[in-house]
């Protein structure tokens, strides 16, 4: 198991313009674009990292943030093993929205989903932006709901990789039993999903180079 | 006869067949859709005609004499159908609709004259503003032709004010500019306001796209066939669009094809007005727009400047005000940014309007149902047309919509390089939304070989991405034939899309949409409900089931509101609120008493108080959350809280005291609320207990002295209970409670504001003795009535109010139980309410069988000590088993002693309801209450019947 590649399906959720796509761009390409076009529907990217001599392939689903796109989200967080719920530390409304997402994930997503709460745009605090969501608030919510918590800046890259590493570390820990559970769960759901699960294995062996 | 029979037999099948077809549009709707005319246009008349169009001479003088005059430049005569609408003349060729379509806004008509013709012909010569002439030769009886002309004449008359706008409008048209500059030789003419491309360059290389040559073609076309508001669209017109509209011309042709031009002309000045009317306002849509302004085609240089951003802001904001139901949806920013490169703000605005309304309805709506629906439709097309690929996608669990959804939602603007995206838009505006499906299918088809190698979403996306980035490259780089090598991937895409997938028609899309609509709507509704329920305020007295039910009832009520009032607001107005509550609150249900105006007034008064109390934002409307919070308060299980809440409804100034008027209002409110119990429509716990007691009594009578254990107790057979008696008792109890309440209120009211109140009557300052006397007299008469006595104390505070309520058994019960249990938030409103109420009450008694049993035991104990009742004759054991016929009942009842006489007689009339066995109570719950309707005589039921 340790020599193979573990695929982690990860979904990003959060209010519009909090920096979801930017976090992904930083993580995948170590890049930043000031005025990134809003994500329409969803975007899909992958990135491999090595955590504790174990290769993890993140399959990242980046979703659109606007409220009315929320009805599409279940399509993307279906079967996700991890989720980043992102808010903007300078926008209190985005934190409320983050709460909603956490709630929705706990109710609708797979039971063992690892959720990381991410307060983004901390770079703006240095540039004279005013912090509107205290670090403690985020920490408190994370503690209450059992989430990982990070404050990041996609612009400077601060903490971005740690978010993914944190998730990656948490998943292989219970990898063996998790995978089994996941498989059982999938088998019991739909045929379509089941096929996917089988395919994941093939993927891991083949180690596609994207 | 047999023909009709066979038709009748086929009817169910035909019904089913009809289901699979699109809902039919009216003739006018179809007509408007086809020619993209504004909603105000409807067909006033139509006729067969031959039409020829002759452009003005280079010298500006009209040239056309007769179309068939020989020796001159050839003029085509088209034979087809001519339609007249309030502002348009539309002609289309009878044989090939696309070979000639003339769309003429009547504002462009300068003169109409009868054309010299043979006596049996009827012809009109129409001279246009541009100098061009249209000869219309009517085919058909003269009388009808005259009629058509008369209508045209009156339309023209009415249109005179509009026609005055024409010259100004034409100054904004690039086609007019081209003509003016090149034919009339006006060199100093200013270029009309156009898109950002004018200054910031158009996408693509101008020499590569042969801009000048294409412009020349369009110039020739306009000269020969007219332009903008008066144009003949021939096959050439479509061809010119297919080869790619020159950038300078693009805005106008998009505007023309989409019908936005007609909207802009008909609504001159509206765009600016919307902007100025809403200049200082803010909205959620505006916040959302601001977030995306800098994120709209950022690679295009104009959108890094304030000018470009401002134009984008204006158009998006104006649309959000124009159509608040849509507001702003991400992707609109990208689409509009695309428009604005080629169009002025106003042009882009109307283009966006028609895009949302005609081309992609529902795409940008709050639920995005149009987007979801078309994804489903697209999937079904893929399954149908490229089955191998579809199978593969399904097998590998690839989410097709991840790639295809942005194509549709942003009209390919985000996916394909701009210069190609606009080419697709050229065809999109001409052919409609089928273009999106055709191109999307072609993309998959062309890349099918590669996609069949992909085994996850990532690879799938990468293939498509790479394809779009290399659209300018050769489609056949390895071919030995140079011509073949020169074909780009984009050209290949267009050919595949519009040749191979020309099988995808408008009708197919409509049909497929119709087919999947229901499922999509259902999914959205489920999702919306789940989301809203998740974010409801915390409730203490409402379970999640109840919340779910309230949600359903709330939106069912709003739905009617929407239909009748034509609004899409999700808030509830007062009138709907009344309807809403009347569905599940016993006190608010329509009743006999509603006929009395005074009662109606009281009801409205109370409901208005409730409404105002719930209206947290003070906007005269309730949100779902308001209703939930309000019901939660109303349904508190805490007696004191319930009383406090009721008090607060009447203490509107929130000073903790109720003044005389408020007390009177409150008592009236109470009287109104308790009406259903007063009238005996419902039964409260006290009455229920009385009934239980009586049942217990009869059991004891039956069993006599024998010791009864709990287990042995069964409900007696055929106990009959006098309903009227209970009703009367209950009514009396409620009336008494009401009068006691009023009396006590004034008895215990505090004297605090005495002086003040007397002042109000103002005895002292009267200069006029007569008036003084009158007042004194009035005062005395008021004094006589304790309740209204102004010298008497008249303020009660909350503790007093609580005391007064608690002092009365009926009212105490009303607040602790009766009111709460009369609000049926857990029941579905579709079920017949009356039956439900009676049934639930009965279920209650049966469920509480233990309590009856206890009663019995208590009674038995006491009876045993008293040792009084022994007589077997007086027990109802021998009474009726079941009331199947009147006679049977009568016979059985004959056995009774005289004291039961009245009951028997009532039994003859009807039975209220009957229950077969306590053990079958569960089964009972599943059934509607049939016995009610089978009851022998009238509907008004008077007896309660128990049977073992």
Residue A191 at interface with chain B, using a CB cutoff of 8 Å: no
Q: Which residues contact A173 (CB under 8 A, 6 or more apart)?
A: none
What are the pLDDT digits (tens) for B251-278?
Answer: 999 999 999 999 999 999 999 999 999 9
3-state secondary structure at position B658? strand
* B584-606: pLDDT as tens digits: 888 888 887 788 888 888 888 89
Q: Which of B434, B435, B405 is nearest to B422 (CA)?
A: B435
Banded model confidence at residue B844, pLDDT cuts 50, 70, 90: low
Residue A131 falls within a domain, yes or no?
Answer: yes
- For the cut 80, the answer to whether the pLDDT of residue B134 exceeds it is yes
Instruction: Judge whether B110 lies within some domain.
Output: yes
Average pLDDT, chain B: 79
Instruction: For chain A, give the longest Cα–Cα distance.
Output: 53
Nearest to B49 by CA among B128, B117, B132: B117
- Cβ of residue A210 closer than 8 Å to a chain B Cβ: yes
Q: Is the pLDDT of residue B554 over 80?
A: yes
In a domain? residue B669: no
How far is residue B522's CA from residue B946's CA, in Å, rounded to a whole number?
A: 45
Q: Based on the domain organization, do B78 and B212 belong to the same domain?
A: no
More confident residue, B56 or B69: B56
- Per-residue pLDDT tens over the stretch B653-670: 777 888 888 888 888 888
**Whether B284 and B187 share a structural domain:** yes
Range of the domain at B416: 369-519
Q: Judge whether A204 is closer than 8 Å to chain B, CB to CB.
A: no
Which chain A residues in 58-117 lie under 8 Å from chain B, judged by CB atoms?
59, 64-66, 68-72, 74-76, 100, 103-104, 107-108
Residue A47 falls inside a structural domain: yes
What's the token pair of residue B243?
């080869």
The more confident residue out of B553 and B332 is B332
Last residue of a domain, one of B519, B538, B563: B519
Chain B contact for A193 (CB, 8 A cutoff): yes
In a domain, B704, yes or no: no
Backbone angles phi, psi at A46, to 5 degrees: -130, 155
Compute the average pLDDT of residues B495-523: 92
The answer on pLDDT for A36 being more than 90 is no
Rounded to whole angstroms, the Cα distance separating B162 from B615 reads 46
Chain A nearest-CA residue for B457: A44
How long is chain B? 948
Distance CA B41, CA B452 (A): 50
Comparing B901 with B772, which gets the higher pLDDT? B772
**Best of A21, A28, A41 to disrupt the B interface by mutation (most B CBs within 10 Å)?**
A41
Which ipTM did the prediction report?
A: 0.82
In a domain, A62, yes or no: yes
| B374 and B495 housed in the same domain | yes
**A145 within a domain of the structure (yes/no):** yes
Long-range contacts of B648-657 (CB under 8 A, 24+ apart): B648/B613, B649/B606, B649/B609, B649/B610, B649/B613, B650/B609, B651/B798, B652/B609, B652/B612, B656/B797, B656/B798, B657/B750, B657/B752, B657/B795, B657/B796, B657/B797
- Residue in chain A closest to B411 (alpha carbons) equals A40
Instruction: Provide the token pair at B401.
Output: 């919509």
The residue of A13, A40, A72 whose CB has the most chain B CBs within 10 angstroms, and thus the best one to mutate to test that interface, is A40
Place B62 in a pLDDT band, splitting at 50, 70 and 90: very low
Residue B925 has pLDDT above 60, yes or no: no
Work out the average pLDDT over A30-43.
90
In the structure, what pLDDT confidence band is assigned to residue A119 with cuts at 50, 70 and 90? very high
Choose the mutation target among A33, A37, A209, A210 for the interface with B, i.e. most B CBs under 10 Å. A37
pLDDT of residue B796 exceeding 90: no
Give the one of A33, A37, A104 whose C-beta lies nearest to B414's C-beta.
A37
Local structure of B78: helix, strand or coil = strand
Task: Give B404→chain A minimum CA distance, Å.
Answer: 9
Chain A positions in Cβ-Cβ contact with residue B292 (cut-off 8 Å): 16-17, 38
State the pLDDT at residue B502.
94
Which residue from B minimizes the CA distance to A106?
A: B534
Q: What is the interface size between A and B, counted as CB pairs within 8 Å?
A: 109
Q: Provide the total of helices (H) and of strands (E) in chain A, helices listed first.
A: 8, 6
Cβ contact, residue pair B372, A40, below 8 Å: no
Number of domains in chain A: 1
In this structure, are B492 and B378 located in the same domain? yes
Residue B771 in any domain: the answer is no
- pLDDT for res B402: 85
Please state, in angstroms and rounded to a whole number, the distance separating the CA atoms of residues B375 and B517.
11
Considering only the beta carbons, identify the residue of B365, B401, B534 that sits closest to A103.
B534
d(Cα B393, Cα B454) in Å, to the nearest integer? 9
Q: Is the pLDDT of residue A65 over 50?
A: yes
Whether residue B400 is found in the same domain as residue B492: yes
B15-24, B26-35, B333-342, B644-653: which range is least confident on average?
B15-24
The 3-state DSSP composition of chain A as helix, strand, coil percent (nearest 5) reads: 45, 25, 30
Q: What is the pLDDT of residue B184?
A: 75
CATH of the domain at B435: 1.10.472.80
The secondary structure element, H or E, covering residue B174 is: helix B174-182
Distance between CA atoms of residues B875 and B698, nearest Å:
7
**Comparing C-alpha atoms, which of B116, B105, B198, B94 is closest to residue B152?**
B105
Higher model confidence: residue B56 or residue A28? A28
Is-contact B551 B542, C-beta < 8 A?
Answer: no
Q: What are phi and psi of A190, to 5 degrees?
A: -110, 160
CA atoms within 13 A on the CB side of B19: 8
Contact, B298 vs A37, CB < 8 A? Answer: yes
Q: Is residue B681 part of a domain?
A: no
DSSP-assigned beta bridge partners for residue B232: B102
User: Which pLDDT does position B795 carry in this prediction?
Assistant: 79
Cα dist from B824 to B121, B542, B820, B905, whole Å = 76, 11, 8, 35
Q: Report yes or no on A56 lying in a domain.
A: yes
**Interval B903-924 mean pLDDT:** 38
Q: With bands split at pLDDT 50, 70 and 90, how would you rate the model's confidence at B7? A: low
Say what the pLDDT of residue B107 is. 95
Residue where a domain stops, chosen among B519, B554, B575? B519
Q: Which residues contact B18 (CB under 8 A, 6 or more apart)?
A: none
- B301 contacts chain A (CB < 8 A): no
Whether chain B has a CB inside 8 Å of the CB on A203: the answer is yes
Q: Calculate how close chain A gets to B459, using CA atoms only, in Å.
A: 7
Q: What is the mean pLDDT of residues A86-97?
A: 96
**What is the pLDDT, as a whole number, of residue A198?**
37
In percent, the amount of chain B with pLDDT more than 90 equals 41
- Residue B636 falls inside a structural domain: no
Comparison of pLDDT for B684 and B929, the residue scoring more: B684
CB < 8 Å to A41, chain B: 401-402, 405-406, 409
> In the predicted model, is pLDDT for residue B912 greater than 50?
no
Q: Is residue B229 within 8 Å of residue B155, measured between CB atoms?
A: no
Which 3-state string (H, E, C) describes B188-234? CCCCCCCCCHHHHCCCCCCCCCCHHHHHHHHHHHHHHHEECCEEEEE
* pLDDT at residue A33 tops 50: yes
**Residues in B 256-295 with any Cβ partner in A closer than 8 A:** 288, 291-292, 294-295
Q: Which residues of A fall within a CB distance of 8 Å from B530?
A: 108
Q: Judge whether A120 lies within some domain.
A: yes
A89 pLDDT above the threshold of 80: yes
Nearest chain B CA: its distance from A90 CA (Å): 14
Question: Nearest by CB to B330, which of A36, A69, A104?
Answer: A69
* B128, B108 contact by CB (below 8 A): yes
Higher pLDDT, B531 or B496: B496
The confidence band for B917, taking pLDDT boundaries of 50, 70 and 90, is very low
Interface touch A41/B366, C-beta < 8 Å: no
Output the pLDDT for position B558. 80
Most confident of A110-124, B836-850, B929-943: A110-124
Angle between helices B434-446 and B400-409 (to 10 degrees): 140
> If we measure between CA atoms, which residue out of B680, B584, B672 comes closest to residue B635?
B584
CA geometry: angle B744, B745, B746, nearest 5 deg: 90
DSSP assignment of B779-844 equals HHHHHHSGGG-TTS--BEEHHHHHHHHHT-HHHHHIIIIIHHHTB-TTS-TTS-HHHHHHHHHHHH
**pLDDT tens per residue across span B297-318:** 999 999 999 999 999 999 999 9
Chain B residues within an 8 Å CB radius of A100: 534-535
Cβ of B406 within 8 Å of Cβ of A41? The answer is yes
Residues A51 and A60: their CA atoms lie apart, in Å, by 17
Assigned domain for A153 exists? yes
Question: Which of A120-129, B66-75, B207-216: highest mean pLDDT?
Answer: A120-129
Nearest CB among B291, B367, B405 relative to A40 is that of B405
Question: How far apart are alpha carbons B804 and B277 in whole angstroms?
Answer: 56
Same domain, B217 and B180: yes
pLDDT value of residue B919: 38
Neighbours of B748 (CB within 10 A): 16
Residues B403 and B443 in one domain: yes
CB-nearest to A68 from B366, B395, B406 is B366
What average pLDDT score do residues A202-207 get? 37
B424 domain-assigned = yes
Question: What's the CA gap between B259 and B254, in Å, rounded?
Answer: 8
What are the tokens at A34?
Answer: 């000031």
**What is the number of structural domains in chain B?**
3
pLDDT for B511 equals: 93
Q: Does the distance separating the beta carbons of B292 and A17 come in below 8 Å?
A: yes
Contact assignment for B534 to A196 by CB distance below 8 Å: no
Across the interface, whether the CB atoms of B458 and A59 are under 8 A apart is answered yes
Q: Coil, strand, or helix at residue B96?
A: coil
* CB within 8 Å of chain A, chain B residues 362-421: 365-368, 372, 394-397, 399, 401-402, 405-406, 409-410, 414
For residue B457, the model assigns a pLDDT of 85
Average pLDDT for B693-721: 62
pLDDT at B479 over 80: yes
Residues of B in contact with A43 (CB under 8 A): 402
Q: Which residues of A are less than 8 Å from B291 in CB distance?
A: 16-17, 38
Name which of A42, A103, A195 is nearest B397 (Cβ-Cβ): A195
Q: Which long-range contacts (CB under 8 A, 24 or more apart) does B771-780 make?
A: none
The CATH code of the domain that includes B102 is: 2.30.29.30
Query: Rounded to whole angstroms, what are the CA distances from B86 to B104, B155, B670?
Result: 11, 6, 60
Which band of pLDDT confidence, cut at 50, 70 and 90, is reported for residue A207? very low
Q: What is the CATH number of the domain that holds A137?
A: 3.40.50.300
Report the pLDDT value the prediction gives residue B345, as an integer from 0 to 100. 96
Phi and psi dihedrals of A208, rounded to 5? Answer: -60, 150
Over residues B43-63, the mean pLDDT reads 75
B243 vs A142, B237, B239, B607, B805, CA distance in Å? 58, 10, 6, 66, 85
Interface test with B, best of A12, A38, A205 (most B CBs within 10 A): A38
Report the residue from B288, B333, B402 with minimal CB separation from A44. Answer: B402
Domain with A138 in it: 5-170
Strands A54-63 and A42-51: antiparallel
Tokens of B54: 């002759």
The minimal CB distance from A35 to the residues B295, B459, B462 is found for B295
> Between B500 and A209, whose confidence is greater?
B500
Q: Convert the pLDDT of each residue in B850-885 to its tens digit.
A: 566 666 666 666 655 554 434 333 333 333 333 333
Among B519, B554, B578, residue at a domain's last position? B519
Cα–Cα dist A122/B886, whole Å? 85
Between B15 and B318, name the one with better pLDDT: B318
Q: Which residue has the higher pLDDT, B657 or B168?
A: B168
Percentage of chain B lying above the pLDDT 70 cut? 74
Among B45-54, B685-694, B834-843, the least confident range: B834-843
Predicted confidence (pLDDT) at residue B825 exceeds the cutoff of 70? yes
Residue B73 covered by a domain: yes
Question: Strand ranges (DSSP E) for B699-810?
Answer: 720-722, 796-797
Residue B285 pLDDT exceeds 80 = yes
Task: Decide if pLDDT at B368 tops 70.
Answer: yes
Give residue-wise pLDDT tens across range A124-162: 999 888 999 999 999 999 999 999 999 999 999 999 999
Report the pLDDT value the prediction gives residue B739, as an integer from 0 to 100.
Answer: 87
Average pLDDT over residues B699-725: 60
Please name the residue ranges forming H helices in chain A: 20-29, 73-77, 92-108, 123-126, 135-145, 160-173, 175-188, 191-206
In a domain, A206, yes or no: no
One domain for residues B314 and B192? yes
Mean pLDDT confidence for B47-63 = 71
Q: Could you tell me which chain B residue has the CA closest to the CA of A79?
A: B397
Both structure tokens of B177:
């500019």
Same domain, B152 and B224: no
A130 touches chain B (CB under 8 A): no
Question: Does the structure show a pLDDT above 60 at B21?
Answer: no
As given in the structure block, the two tokens for residue B203 are 């996408």
At B860, list the tokens.
Answer: 């038995």
Residue A210: its pLDDT value, please? 39
Residues B109 and B62 reside in one and the same domain: yes
The span from the CA of B105 to the CA of B108, in Å, is 6
**B295–A107 CB contact, under 8 Å:** no
Cβ neighbours for B357, distance < 8 A, ≥ 6 positions apart = none
Whether pLDDT at B516 is above 90: yes
Task: Please tell me the predicted confidence (pLDDT) of residue B835.
Answer: 42
């Amino acid at each position: 198991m340790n020599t193979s590649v573990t695929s982690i399906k990860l979904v990003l959720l959060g209010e519009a313009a909090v920096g979801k796509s930017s976090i992904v761009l930083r993580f995948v390409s170590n890049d930043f674009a000031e005025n990134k076009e809003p994500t329409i529907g969803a975007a899909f990217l992958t990135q491999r990292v090595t955590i504790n001599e174990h290769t993890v392939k993140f399959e990242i689903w980046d979703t659109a943030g606007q409220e009315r796109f929320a009805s599409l989200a279940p399509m993307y967080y279906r079967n996700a093993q991890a989720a980043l719920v992102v808010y903007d530390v300078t926008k209190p409304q985005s934190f409320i929205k983050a709460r909603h997402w956490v709630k929705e994930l706990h109710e609708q997503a797979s039971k063992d989903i690892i959720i990381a709460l991410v307060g983004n745009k901390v770079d703006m605090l240095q540039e004279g932006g005013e912090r509107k969501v205290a670090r403690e608030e985020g920490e408190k919510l994370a503690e209450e709901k059992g989430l990982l918590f990070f404050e990041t800046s996609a612009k400077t890259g601060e903490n971005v990789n740690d978010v993914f590493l944190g998730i990656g570390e948490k998943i292989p820990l219970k990898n063996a039993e998790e995978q089994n559970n996941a498989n059982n769960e999938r088998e019991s759901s739909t045929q379509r999903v089941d096929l996917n699960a089988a395919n994941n294995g093939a993927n891991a062996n083949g180690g596609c180079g994207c | 006869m047999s023909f009709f029979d066979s038709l009748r037999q086929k009817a169910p099948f035909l019904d089913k067949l009809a289901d699979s077809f699109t809902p039919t549009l009216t003739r006018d709707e179809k007509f408007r859709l086809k020619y993209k005319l504004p909603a105000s246009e409807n067909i006033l008349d139509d006729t067969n005609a031959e039409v020829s169009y002759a452009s003005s001479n280079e010298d500006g003088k009209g040239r056309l004499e007769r179309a068939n005059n020989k020796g001159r430049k050839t003029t085509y005569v088209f034979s087809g159908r001519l339609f007249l609408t309030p502002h348009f003349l539309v002609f289309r060729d009878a044989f090939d609709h696309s070979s000639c379509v003339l769309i003429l806004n009547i504002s462009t008509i300068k003169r109409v004259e009868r054309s010299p013709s043979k006596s049996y012909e009827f012809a009109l010569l129409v001279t246009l503003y541009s100098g061009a002439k249209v000869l219309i030769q009517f085919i058909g009886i003269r009388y009808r032709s005259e009629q058509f002309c008369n209508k045209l004449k009156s339309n023209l008359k009415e249109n005179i004010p509009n026609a005055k706008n024409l010259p100004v409008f034409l100054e904004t048209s690039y086609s007019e500019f081209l003509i003016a500059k090149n034919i009339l030789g006006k060199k100093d003419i200013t270029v009309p306001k156009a898109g950002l491309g004018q200054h910031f360059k158009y996408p693509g290389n101008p020499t590569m796209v042969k801009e000048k040559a294409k412009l020349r073609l369009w110039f020739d076309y306009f000269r020969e066939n007219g332009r903008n508001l008066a144009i003949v669209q021939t096959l050439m017109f479509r061809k010119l669009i297919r080869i790619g509209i020159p950038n300078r011309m693009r805005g106008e042709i998009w505007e023309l094809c989409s019908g936005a031009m007609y909207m802009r002309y008909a609504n001159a000045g509206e765009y600016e007005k919307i902007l100025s009317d809403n200049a200082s306002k803010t909205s959620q849509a505006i916040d959302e727009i601001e977030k995306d302004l800098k994120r709209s085609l950022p690679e295009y240089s104009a959108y890094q400047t304030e000018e470009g951003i401002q134009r984008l802001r204006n158009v998006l904001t104006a649309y959000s005000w124009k159509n608040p139901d849509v507001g702003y949806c991400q992707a609109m920013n990208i689409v509009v940014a695309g428009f604005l490169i080629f169009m002025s703000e106003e042009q882009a605005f109307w283009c966006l309007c028609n895009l949302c309304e005609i081309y992609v309805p529902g795409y940008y709506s709050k639920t995005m149902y149009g987007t979801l629906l078309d994804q489903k439709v697209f999937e079904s097309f893929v399954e149908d047309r490229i089955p191998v690929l579809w199978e593969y996608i399904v097998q590998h669990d690839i989410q097709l919509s991840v790639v295809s959804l942005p194509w549709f939602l942003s009209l390919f603007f985000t996916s394909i390089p701009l210069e190609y995206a606009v080419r697709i838009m050229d065809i999109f505006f001409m052919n409609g939304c089928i273009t999106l499906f055709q191109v999307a299918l072609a993309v998959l088809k062309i890349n099918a070989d590669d996609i069949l190698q992909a085994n996850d979403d990532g690879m799938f996306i990468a293939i498509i991405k790479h394809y779009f980035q290399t659209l300018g490259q050769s489609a056949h780089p390895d071919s030995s034939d140079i011509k073949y090598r020169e074909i780009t991937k984009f050209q290949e895409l267009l050919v595949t899309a519009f040749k191979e997938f020309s099988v995808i028609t408008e009708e197919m899309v409509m049909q497929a949409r119709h087919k999947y609509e229901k499922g999509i709507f259902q999914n959205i509704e489920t999702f919306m409900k789940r989301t809203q329920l998740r974010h409801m305020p915390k409730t203490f007295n409402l379970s999640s089931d109840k919340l779910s039910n309230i949600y359903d009832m709330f939106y069912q009520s709003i739905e009617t509101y929407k239909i009748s009032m034509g609004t899409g607001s999700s808030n509830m107005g007062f009138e709907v609120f009344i309807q809403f509550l009347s569905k599940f609150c016993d006190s608010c249900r329509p009743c006999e008493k509603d006929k009395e105006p005074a009662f109606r007034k009281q009801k409205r008064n109370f409901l208005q108080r409730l409404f105002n109390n719930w209206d947290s934002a003070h906007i005269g409307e309730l949100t779902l959350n308001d209703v939930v919070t309000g019901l939660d308060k109303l349904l508190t299980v805490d007696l004191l809280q319930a009383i406090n809440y009721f008090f607060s409804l009447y203490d509107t100034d929130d000073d903790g005291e109720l003044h005389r008027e408020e007390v009177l209002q409150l008592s009236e409110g109470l009287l109104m609320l308790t009406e259903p119990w007063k009238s005996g429509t419902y039964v409260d716990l006290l009455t229920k207990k009385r009934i239980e007691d009586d049942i217990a009594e009869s059991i004891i009578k039956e069993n006599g002295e024998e010791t009864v254990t709990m287990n042995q107790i069964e409900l007696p057979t055929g106990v009959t209970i006098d309903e009227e008696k209970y009703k009367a008792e209950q009514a009396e109890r409620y009336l008494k409670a009401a009068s006691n309440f009023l009396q006590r209120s004034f008895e215990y009211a505090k004297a605090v504001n005495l002086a003040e109140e007397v002042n109000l009557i103002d005895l002292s300052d009267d200069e006029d003795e007569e008036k003084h006397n009158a007042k004194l007299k009035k005062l005395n008469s008021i004094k006589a009535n304790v309740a209204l006595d102004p010298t008497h104390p008249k303020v009660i505070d909350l503790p007093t109010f609580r005391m007064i309520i608690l002092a009365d058994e009926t009212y105490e019960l009303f607040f602790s139980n009766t009111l709460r249990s009369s609000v049926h938030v857990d029941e579905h409103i579709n079920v017949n309410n009356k039956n439900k109420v009676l049934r639930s009450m009965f279920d209650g008694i049966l469920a509480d069988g233990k309590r009856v049993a206890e009663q019995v035991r208590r009674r038995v104990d006491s009876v045993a000590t008293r040792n009084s009742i022994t007589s077997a004759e007086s027990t109802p054991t021998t009474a009726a088993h079941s009331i199947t016929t009147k006679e049977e009942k009568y016979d059985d009842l004959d056995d009774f002693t005289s004291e039961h006489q009245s009951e028997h007689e009532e039994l003859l009339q009807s039975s209220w309801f009957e229950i077969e066995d306590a053990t079958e109570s569960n089964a009972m719950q599943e059934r509607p209450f049939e016995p009610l309707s089978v009851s022998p005589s009238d509907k008004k039921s008077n007896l309660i019947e128990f049977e073992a």
